[in-house]
Amino acid sequence: MSLKKGETVPFVKLKDKDGKIFNTDHFKGEKAFVIYFYPKDFTPGCTREACEFRDRYLEFNELGAEVIAISSDSEASHTKFINKYNLPFIFLSDKNKEARKAFGVQSSLLGLIPGRETFIFDKNGILRMRYNNINASQHTTTALKKLKKLQDEN
């Protein structure tokens, strides 16, 4: 199943870096949010992507949005990744790939690499844009452009 524009954020419970349960719809009704799926902590593309989200995190906050990153890495790996690169947003561990399935994130490169995909939700938890590109460099800019457009619509 693939999440489509106009649908509500799927409800999935995952653990954050501290092992606490976090629901994917936590910000629904409060603020817009960006959920991005990435292949693996500490790999060059994923590190670059996380650092781009970090470097522009204030812009997301100024637009009233939160950033959530999801991979199948463990909570301990996320903690090391967050600490090494000073990453200020939420990281969730999807070891069983239940979030990937619920959101319909496909693997890339003949199914060998977990997909890289970004979802932009409005404050009501409605999917407003889905961006799928294995190239890590455009996800942050694409998400910010869509959030600005959503803000201008209101």
> Is 51 a catalytic site residue?
no
Are residues 75 and 19 in contact, defined by beta-carbon separation less than 8 angstroms? yes
Catalytic residue among 34, 46, 68, 90: 46
Amino acid at position 32, single letter: A
* Residues designated catalytic: 46
